[in-house]
Copies of this chain bind each other. A is one copy, B any other.
């Protein structure tokens, strides 16, 4: 994928930095300093900036990884269990929600966002043709609901039981109603 393959140590450092950044931002939020990331990755700060010229680039790289993971996860879920999965992730990793914030995402990572959208669209049409979800509902509102729930889970500190009851309300709203 890279135009010129990285040297072995550089490749090692790159993933070390990404892992550290994911952990740091998950704990401290995206305002955490780049120095903290470098510290936890065990590299100097200059190395971080060599791999990711800008803090935004670093955040974008993490988001890309997380998004790709979510898209991959989508294959093993139906729409409802995917919602549960994503919301649970959001509660655990602060980055996920900011990541899903549509505005930033569509602008900064348009192709990754499109992949997620496609994955959710597949789940939605499958759910609709199996009769699990009303045909009244369309993709934009499903995406928006997913994003909202992630944001809520992130900021709200919901426990497992509450999370479940909230999702039940939304799922009832999505199911066909007589």
- Chain A: residues with CB nearer than 8 A to chain B? 101-104, 137-138, 140-141, 144-145, 147-149, 151-153, 155-158, 162, 165-166, 168-174, 177-178
Find out whether the CB atom of B152 lies under 8 angstroms from the CB atom of A166: no
**Nearest CB to that of A104 among chain B residues?**
B155
Q: Which of B141, B155, B158 contacts A151 (CB 8 A)?
A: B155
- What's the Cα separation between A19 and B157 when bound, in Å? 31
In the complex, the count of this chain's copies comes to 2
Task: State whether A102 and B155 are in contact (beta carbons under 8 Å apart), knowing that A171-B173, A174-B169 are contacts in the complex.
Answer: yes
Find out whether the CB atom of A166 lies under 8 angstroms from the CB atom of B151: no
Find out whether the CB atom of B166 lies under 8 angstroms from the CB atom of A141: yes
Which residues of B sit under 8 angstroms from A173, Cβ to Cβ?
168-174
**Nearest CB to that of A165 among chain B residues?**
B141
Q: Closest CB of chain B to A40's CB: distance in Å?
A: 24
**Nearest CB to that of A174 among chain B residues?**
B169
Which residues of B sit under 8 angstroms from A101, Cβ to Cβ?
155-156
Which residues of B sit under 8 angstroms from A157, Cβ to Cβ?
102-103
- What's the Cα separation between A154 and B158 when bound, in Å? 20
Which residues of B sit under 8 angstroms from A169, Cβ to Cβ?
137, 141, 145, 170, 173-174
